[in-house]
Amino acid sequence: MNLTEIQDLIKFVSKSGVSEVEIEQKDFKIVIKAENKSKKEEHTVYVQAPQQIAAPAPITASAPVIATPEASKTTTTSEDSKLITIKSPMIGTFYRSTSPDKPALANVGDSVEKGKVVCIIEAMKLFNDIEAEISGKIVKVLVDDASPVEYDQPLFLVDPA
């Protein structure tokens, strides 16, 4: 088995979702183990041939990481540089209002003052009020209602002027 065949086998394993493949023939043995680590997959390949004295070094190949639209936004304009971001202090579910039949706590164009509740994040069946850290005008809501949010994820853009 040559290097290109091994690489094709690694690609096949990553696409198929199989966690482990072991092939043993008379002149070599190959074991491919796939571990899913967040957004990338790492494959460890061990190749052993009977004539080898020392154990071979593992060959590690990483599958390409797919860029999300949020990760590809790296350009900032001078207008965005003066805006301040209100970020999520916890992991949970983002809600714009206190209940489905109530209006949103903060909309685009609303003025907020320091300490005003702008949204709610539900974490482990507890509803946590998220307060504005600064006074200003909400320019953009960055998260959809009832969406999961991560720690330190941007929720709102606020113009402090």
Give the tens place of pLDDT for each residue, 64-95: 444 444 433 333 445 567 899 999 999 999 99
Residue at which a domain ends, from 31, 62, 93 = 62
Q: Is residue 110 part of a domain?
A: yes
Same domain for 83 and 131?
yes
Residue with tokens 């113009």: 159
Q: Are residues 86 and 151 in the same domain?
A: yes
pLDDT of amino acid 45: 53
- Structural contact between residues 152 and 88, judged by C-beta atoms closer than 8 angstroms: yes
Question: pLDDT band for position 155 (50/70/90)?
Answer: very high
For residue 145, give the CATH number of its domain: 2.40.50.100
Q: 3-class DSSP state for residue 75? A: coil
User: Are 105 and 135 in a shared domain?
Assistant: yes
Asked whether residue 36 falls in the same domain as residue 85, the answer is: no
90 and 27, same structural domain?
Answer: no
First to last CA, the chain: 66
| Average pLDDT for 8-28 | 73
Percent of the chain having pLDDT more than 90?
45
What's the whole-number mean pLDDT along residues 109-119?
94
pLDDT over 90 at 96, yes or no:
yes
State whether 82 and 50 are in the same domain.
no
Please tell me the total count of domains within the chain.
2
| Lowest pLDDT segment from 11-20, 73-82, 93-102 | 73-82
pTM: 0.51
Q: Is residue 68 part of a domain?
A: no
pLDDT for 21 equals 75
* DSSP H or E segment with residue 72: none
Does some domain include residue 73? no
Give the range of the structural domain holding residue 91, as residue numbers without chain letter.
Answer: 78-159
Same domain, 142 and 84: yes
What is the three-class DSSP state of 6?
A: helix
Same domain assignment for residues 150 and 83: yes
Q: By mean pLDDT, which of 30-39, 66-75, 96-105 is the weakest?
A: 66-75
